[in-house]
Amino acid sequence: MAILKLKAPTKDYLWGGNRLVNEYGKESAGAVTAESWELSCFPGSESVIESGEFAGKTLTQYIEENGKEVLGTNCEKFEDFPILIKLIDAKKDLSLQVHPSDEYARVHENQYGKTEMWYILDAEEDAFLYYGFNREVSKEEFARRIENETLTEVLNPVYVKKGDVVFIESGTLHAIGAGILLAEIQQNSNVTYRVYDYGRRDKDGNLRELHVEKALDVTDTNPAPKIPRPEPHIGQCKYFTVDKVALSGSLTDTLSGEVTTDSFLHILVLEGEGVITNGDDKVNYKKGDSLLLPAGSGRYEIKGQLEAVMTYE
């Protein structure tokens, strides 16, 4: 089995900045680069294998040619590839939005719903995000506040710093605030119901579409629960498990593990550089790299300086 180094498609959404290009080496999608999709089989936005036997193929093509066995037995319960991983640079506030459950999204969008988690990579002083409501509101009040643009008065602001983790269940109203850089691990879905966007216009001068009726259907209007702190993982649900790992770069400092037939392993390199070995395959890594070890790859060893999030099913 080969270590697959992936190239991420990027998105030039109007709220993005330039840190993904300047600090993580991503190719620009335009004047700004809001997102890079580091592990993606989403149609039209798929990761591409950069080198080796499968160079130039999309991740979707690789799976089709090698069989779903490369994903592992834990993924057999999913019809499609279950996970989407992104880097997100929010230079400006993102819209207030909510994601539906699987059940609702399958009926209305023919996609999965979206549960997601954020690992905060950096945050400006006093940067915050919105996470649910600060008190219970009725559906009627929710609709009224969307209409009169006072929704933020009843939302729950969460001030964040590097290393914080926020888990967003489907149905939770939320928004990433300006000055936050993060890694997002989510279900493989692009269903977002936008309810407020600060009156901004897109590059063609049009107001961005809102999805108020669907948002009213799916939003949990109870007070926001306390953000969970899962241990020993930084994130875990039925769709993914996420671990944070680090190496100091010492000559004797190594990280090793085994990729069984249960699941693939994805490594998103947040800091550092070094080498990862898996059998006869040896790949150098650096900050911003996205690496996939297919299920059944066996033992691997990482040497060098490293801060990374590892995701598996």
36 closest CA partner among 208, 192, 52, 25: 25
Helices and strands, number each (H, E), in the chain: 5, 20
Element (H, E) at 141: helix 139-148
Using an 8 Å Cβ cutoff, are 274 and 285 in contact?
yes
Catalytic residue among 106, 135, 144, 194: 194
Distance CA 257, CA 46 (A): 27
Q: How far apart are CA 54 and CA 124, in angstroms?
A: 40
Q: CA quadruple 164, 286, 265, 89: dihedral positive or negative?
A: positive
| Extended beta strands in the chain, E state | 4-7, 10-11, 35-39, 48-49, 83-90, 96-98, 116-123, 128-133, 155-159, 165-168, 174-175, 180-187, 193-196, 235-236, 241-248, 254-259, 265-278, 281-286, 290-293, 298-312
3-state secondary structure of 89: strand
194 catalytic, yes or no?
Answer: yes
Assigned token pair, 146: 């969307």
- Residue positions annotated with a catalytic role: 194
